[in-house]
Amino acid sequence: MPREVILVDSQLGNLDSVEHALIQVGASVIVTSDPDRVATARMVVFPGQGSFGPTTKEIVEGAMGAALRMVIERGDPFLGICLGMQLLFDHSEENGGHDGLRVLSGRVRRFPGDMPAVEGDPEGPRLKVPHVGWNDVQPTGEHFYFAHSYYIEPADPSVVMWWCRYGSVEFPATIARGNIFGCQFHPEKSQWSGLRFLRSFILGGRA
């Protein structure tokens, strides 16, 4: 029997492709923006793209934020994708600074501008921000698709499961603590590697 997954519609975009990917890996998906329905979920996926700002502030301080905290505190599996992962942390410096859900300790920081493409070669080509495209994730060696200008800087390094490098910055590609999982990449855009990641979460409540 397919595992029922609540896919949170938080007006942060990136919804249809995530729903399709979850169905591909065998989930029974219910899309909802109703905090009461989210609060009763036994497995939640919270996708997002874009930036910290008024919409995320409304989520964090409103009924949806309370529902997400309830799911997490109850111990049910939770996966945050991209901005959905960043929102788990204390604070983001984006758009003048905004608080997150404060489920995990740490901050969201911006990639430094004008980074050299090759570390230690300040005269060589420069990297652009945002970081967009395929990049290899360690220690898996697999490639996943990223699209972000900001990255997680957790207070506790032990929450980092996989990591990635962009220029001089090594940043968390996935995080895990108990029933909480997050990925900075977009699994729904990462072909078979992304589907394998989602399938592991759906089948086992893990990534």
Residue numbers annotated as active site:
82, 186, 188
SS3 call for 58: helix
Spatial distance between the Cα atoms of 82 and 46, rounded to a whole number of angstroms: 9
Q: What three-state secondary structure class fits 13?
A: coil
CA distance 182 to 140: 16
Residue 54 near residue 99 (C-beta atoms within 8 A):
no
The answer, yes or no, to whether the previous bond of 47 is cis (omega within 30 of 0) is no
For residue 164, what are the β-bridge partners?
171
Cα–Cα separations (whole angstroms), residue 152 to 106, 124, 184, 196 = 7, 27, 8, 23
User: Hey, which residues does 98 pair with through a beta bridge?
Assistant: 92
